[in-house]
Amino acid sequence: MNARNDQVLIEKLKALPPQRRAEVEDFVDFLKSREDEQRLTHIAAQAYEPAFKAVWDNSDDADYDRL
């Protein structure tokens, strides 16, 4: 988003009644929370990858990988 789009969005928010602004704020908080959760899940998966590498990459599993 560029500065002009940001300003248009801000003007739209200003035009809303206070109750609707609160709803928008709740929704923005929800979106932020979801983004944070997805980022943490991705980071956790990356952190566990080396530990699981020995489990995933072995000769027994190679047979299943070829199926």
Answer yes or no: is pLDDT of 9 > 90: yes
| Dist CA 19 CA 35 (whole Å) | 25
Could you tell me the residue ranges of all domains in the chain?
17-65
Q: Given pLDDT bands bounded at 50, 70 and 90, which one contains residue 16?
A: very high
Residues 32-67 have pLDDT tens digits of: 999 999 999 999 988 888 888 777 777 777 777 777
Q: Is the pTM of this model over 0.85?
A: no
| Dist CA 47 CA 45 (whole Å) | 5
| Dist CA 36 CA 28 (whole Å) | 12
